Amino acid sequence: MNMLYDSDSFVVVHMLADATPDSASEAATPAVPQLVRHGFEIVDKRSGKEVYLDGSWAEMFQQQILAWQRNTPTQEEVEDTLDGYVGLAQNPVIVH
């Protein structure tokens, strides 16, 4: 898990897939192909909701991050882009 962005309004975390199974569980279960996936969690601090992007959504968001790395955006540009994902945020943030 890597924190990518943290502001007064948003937090963006890159959730990395654990591609290294431990040897004890590997010996106990037969080898079954698993899809290694990663995703991004975007938390809207203003509404207290979060959205998890995976699959094609994560790939599109990854492209946005790469574009930001090439052309350093202003904080306002980043916030405007993240604000576009707020409509997808349905899950309340629960601290546990």
**Which pLDDT does position 36 carry in this prediction?**
63
Question: Do 38 and 15 form a contact (C-beta atoms < 8 A)?
Answer: yes
Note the pTM of the prediction, 2 decimals.
Answer: 0.75
Q: Find, among 51, 57, 45, the residue nearest to 87 by Cα.
A: 51
pLDDT of residue 22: 53
- Highest mean predicted confidence (pLDDT) among 11-25, 29-43, 57-71: 57-71
Spatial distance between the Cα atoms of 82 and 76, rounded to a whole number of angstroms = 10
